[in-house]
Amino acid sequence: MIETRPLPHYFSAEHEDFRSTLREFVDREIVPFANDWDEAETFPRELYRKFGALGALGIGYDEALGGTAADIFHYLVAIEEVARAGCGGVQASLLSHTIGLPPVAAHGSEALKRRVVPPVLAGEKIAALAVTEPGGGSDVASLKCAARRDGDHYVLNGEKTFITSGMRADFITVAVRTDAGSKGAAGVSALLVEADAPGLTRTPLKKMGWWCSDTAHLHFDDVRVPVGNLLGTEHQGFKVFMTNFNSERLSMSAAACAFAQACLDEALAWARDRVTFGQPLSQRQVIRHKLVDMALKIDAARALVYELAWRLEHRHGDPEQLVARTCMAKILSTQAMQFCADQAVQILGGMGYMRGTRSERIYREAKVMMIGGGSEEILKDLAARQLGI
């Protein structure tokens, strides 16, 4: 394995103990089944409960609600260790609560938080986020899904698409327009929709990768949502989702580095075992250079992610600069993932083209990491604005 050991000022002995626990769990509960789950396009719901029992679903949440006392580096450990299995579908759906639940925990009423947060953190319920619409993704200000007030309910109509965990989620945090007369960011609200609400229909979507993660198209037809399920202040939900995006982009950055590492590990193991013309591939200069190029890109991206995490944990730096650095971390790390997946498949040769290798699966999943959570093009433009370029 070619890997730079995290510096002590980022990861303490407590973090490394947590990592060891999660690594053993992933090696036992996920790695042996990842390929079969991907082919089956699903994984057991019981995995949420098992992962929740470790406290891994509760990182960053109030202990009174079932959360786990931890910092941002515990969170990165969880992201990295699940990603090491090399199966983005498990990563996406098992951790879909990391984007679906924070708006509830931060902006929901006390009663709503007590009812929703504990069962999700225990792995008994699943939370998802629904922002993207058929007519637009990152342009949240242009959303058309609308909700009008009718007594003690909102009546919701519209569509959402590409929703991770959209088929199995019990709670869905939905971005809606509650002020029809407003344009842009004004008039946007956040509502928690419960999956058994009449009028909500969910259709599964087929994808290039992330096969075992259910992804859905949602249709809301006069869905009645209690006013008590409003998250934050009516018409002022835009900031709720923008803040949420920053956390999502950090987690995707850390995952991308771990996926890239999985490709490097598989390629190195193959290069050492595969003999051509009397020598292992790892003794061929052209192959050694490919492996070094992979390690170089991973280390550069990971260094940026860790430094960003430290800045966020210690609130060090101008907020606009931190947003820009978050954008850049996601861009650099997903580019590293794409490069390493491509090089690993090349080194594995014909075997790299076979389903069942981690590199083949990650190769198919690289693009969704470069698009989801804000595409590379959107993030470069956002970073430029934050940096005053």
My answer on whether 155 and 244 are in the same domain is no
My answer on whether 58 and 174 are in the same domain is no
My answer on whether 228 and 141 are in the same domain is yes
Last residue of a domain, one of 182, 202, 235: 235
**Is the residue at 2 inside a domain?**
no
pLDDT tens digits, one per residue of 351-369: 999 999 999 999 999 999 9
For the cut 90, the answer to whether the pLDDT of residue 33 exceeds it is yes
CATH number, domain with residue 148: 2.40.110.10
My answer on whether 94 and 196 are in the same domain is no
Instruction: Give the lowest-confidence range in 74-83, 223-232, 273-282.
Output: 273-282
**Is the residue at 6 inside a domain?**
no
For the cut 70, the answer to whether the pLDDT of residue 6 exceeds it is no
pLDDT (mean) for 153-158: 97
My answer on whether 38 and 68 are in the same domain is yes
**Is the residue at 4 inside a domain?**
no
**Is the residue at 313 inside a domain?**
yes
Q: Nearest to residue 160, comparing CAs of 191, 135, 193?
A: 135
Residue 128: CB partners within 8 Å, gap ≥ 6? Answer: 96, 99, 100, 163, 164, 165, 166, 169, 171, 172, 173
My answer on whether 266 and 223 are in the same domain is no
Last residue of a domain, one of 235, 251, 269: 235
**Is the residue at 255 inside a domain?**
yes
Instruction: Please name the amino acid found at residue 35.
Output: N
My answer on whether 261 and 299 are in the same domain is yes
The CA distance from 264 to 205, in Å, is: 30
CATH number, domain with residue 32: 1.10.540.10
Is pTM, for the whole model, over 0.85?
A: yes
Task: List the alpha helices (DSSP H) in 122-277.
Answer: 238-273
CATH number, domain with residue 339: 1.20.140.10
Residues 208 and 107 sit within 8 Å (Cβ to Cβ): no
User: Could you tell me the pLDDT band of residue 300, with boundaries at 50, 70 and 90?
Assistant: very high
pLDDT tens digits, one per residue of 243-276: 888 889 999 999 999 999 999 999 999 999 999 8
Containing structural domain, residue 75: 13-121
Total tally of structural domains belonging to the chain: 3
The mean pLDDT value of the chain amounts to: 94
My answer on whether 265 and 368 are in the same domain is yes
My answer on whether 31 and 111 are in the same domain is yes
**Is the residue at 306 inside a domain?**
yes
Q: What is the pLDDT of residue 185?
A: 80
Last residue of a domain, one of 102, 121, 140: 121
**Is the residue at 317 inside a domain?**
yes
Residues 65 and 105 sit within 8 Å (Cβ to Cβ): yes
HSE at residue 313, side-chain half, CA atoms within 13 A, is 17
Q: Which two tokens stand for residue 99?
A: 């984007």
My answer on whether 80 and 181 are in the same domain is no
**Is the residue at 8 inside a domain?**
no
